[in-house]
Amino acid sequence: MHDHRKLGRELELFGTDPLIGAGLPYWLPDGAVVRHTLEEHIREVERRAGYRHVCSPVLGKRELYEVSGHWAHYRDDMFPPMDLGGEQVVLRPSLCPHHAVIYRSRSHSYRELPLRLAELGGMYRSELSGVLGGLTRVRAIQLNDAHIFCTLDQVADEASAALELIRDACAAMGIRASRSRLSLAGAGGKYVAAPEKWRRAAALLTEVLERSGVEHEAEEGEAAFYGPKIDVQVVDSAGRESTLSTVQVDFHQPEQFGLHHVGADGAEHRPVMVHRSVIGSVERAVAHLVEVHGGAFPAWLAPRQLVVLPLSGAELPHAERFAQQCRERGLRRRSRRTAASVRASGRIGWCPTRW
């Protein structure tokens, strides 16, 4: 397996600069193509699976995260609040509070559920400088995220469908997971104190894993602060394990935000929130793709899908027409000319652009 940091520089995919800051990579043109193509693919996969896409701001008032529980349980991983006009606003560490607010912006009937809201959105985490590296641990993250608001009896089916999306995405990207993990709460005060909710959520995820035939290992201390999760793990070139994809069951935030839907009986009922990320952070997904494929991406992801190489000056007009036809059909192509074809054409001083 290759080191994505070295290959990323050689292939001119991304870079870093101390003037911008540690953990804040920038994307060069070819890297941006890979990133955007991956994002477009995931959006289309989600649309076909019945998800509706939303957009939400990367900032939120401190009170938003006090309600969600992030301020009490996740504050050490958040950037400090900024004072604006007498209010404190925070760079968000996750998208779920915004999606909960979007859900409660209007009333819902049980007939609408499950309601699947998805977003490729930015979030920010105050990672320590010692753990930052390439694209795998960054401070500015583009997350493929979704939240499914559903009834209790819909949770298992929705979580199973999310696992299927993850399997299909890994197959399309040519990625093989190292293992699946059932991440449970551990000791200490970083988790929401609601034993019965934890038990129910863990039982549901265990049912999903067994129904899907997924071998897994249960580990304490790896859960989100609000609930257990299924983590799909991958290993990088240095043998370090990280989470690529995740499915989580959350009883906590629907209660915190006062979410409800009107049931068949005409009464208000609390939905369950299933968190789901197919490829996790785009940065980490691209890093793993670079390492797995050594820069030779699957054709649908490649920055350049086609290079047109005329061997003589006489072939230049035909090559240029063919390259133009390929571009019109959506292929990412680049035309190159050999030294012999340049001499034969009489075009002096031509050289291919790197970007």
> Is there a domain that residue 352 lies in?
no
CATH of the domain at 85: 3.30.930.10
Tokens of 26: 């920038």
Residue 355's pLDDT is: 52
Residue 126 C-beta-side C-alpha neighbours within 13 Å: 11
DSSP-based three-state secondary structure for 278: coil
Task: Confirm if 206 and 180 have CB atoms less than 8 A apart.
Answer: no
Task: Confirm if 235 and 223 have CB atoms less than 8 A apart.
Answer: no
Whether 202 and 341 share a structural domain: no
Whether 166 and 128 share a structural domain: yes
Residue 340's pLDDT is: 47
Q: Which domain holds residue 322?
A: 306-345
Q: Residue 96 is inside which H or E element, if any?
A: helix 96-103
Residue 238 C-beta-side C-alpha neighbours within 13 Å: 10
Q: What is the pLDDT of residues 73-109, one digit of tens each?
A: 999 999 999 999 899 999 999 999 999 999 999 999 9
Residue 273 C-beta-side C-alpha neighbours within 13 Å: 31
Whether 31 and 81 share a structural domain: yes
Whether 289 and 329 share a structural domain: no
Whether 311 and 171 share a structural domain: no
Q: What is the DSSP letter of 112?
A: G
* Partners of 180 in the β-ladder: 232
For the chain, count helices (H), then strands (E).
11, 17
- pLDDT of 344 > 90? The answer is no
> Is there a domain that residue 354 lies in?
no
Task: Confirm if 227 and 248 have CB atoms less than 8 A apart.
Answer: yes
Tokens of 44: 């289309």
Phi, psi (rounded to 5 degrees) for 116:
-110, 110
**Cis preceding-peptide flag for 114 (omega within 30 of 0):** yes
Whether 286 and 313 share a structural domain: no
pLDDT over 70 for what percent of the chain?
Answer: 94
Mean pLDDT in residue range 305-328: 85
Whether 214 and 335 share a structural domain: no
Residue 110's pLDDT is: 97
Q: Residue 48 is inside which H or E element, if any?
A: helix 29-48
Whether 212 and 263 share a structural domain: yes
Whether 284 and 315 share a structural domain: no
Mean pLDDT in residue range 322-349: 63
**Residue 355 neighbours by CB distance under 10 Å:** 6
| Dihedral over alpha carbons 42, 44, 47, 53 (to 10 degrees) | 60
Mean pLDDT lowest among 51-55, 226-230, 243-247, 320-324: 320-324
Domain count, the chain: 2
> Is there a domain that residue 355 lies in?
no
> Is there a domain that residue 353 lies in?
no
> Is there a domain that residue 314 lies in?
yes
> Is there a domain that residue 299 lies in?
no
Residue 206's pLDDT is: 96
Question: Across all residues in the chain, what is the average pLDDT?
Answer: 91
Q: How confident is the model at residue 52 (pLDDT cuts 50, 70, 90)?
A: very high
> Is there a domain that residue 350 lies in?
no
> Is there a domain that residue 351 lies in?
no
Burial (0-12, 13-18, 19+ Cβ within 10 Å), 247: buried
Mean pLDDT in residue range 289-296: 92
- pLDDT of 346 > 70? The answer is no
Task: Confirm if 69 and 248 have CB atoms less than 8 A apart.
Answer: no
Q: How confident is the model at residue 341 (pLDDT cuts 50, 70, 90)?
A: very low
Q: What is the pLDDT of residues 118-166, one digit of tens each?
A: 999 999 999 887 788 899 999 999 999 999 999 999 999 999 999 999 9
Whether 324 and 237 share a structural domain: no
Tokens of 335: 């035309």
Q: What is the pTM of this model?
A: 0.89
Whether 278 and 328 share a structural domain: no
d(CA 144, CA 122): 9
- pLDDT of 251 > 60? The answer is yes
Q: What is the pLDDT of residues 163-218, one digit of tens each?
A: 999 999 999 999 889 999 999 998 877 899 899 999 999 999 999 999 999 999 99
Whether 177 and 317 share a structural domain: no
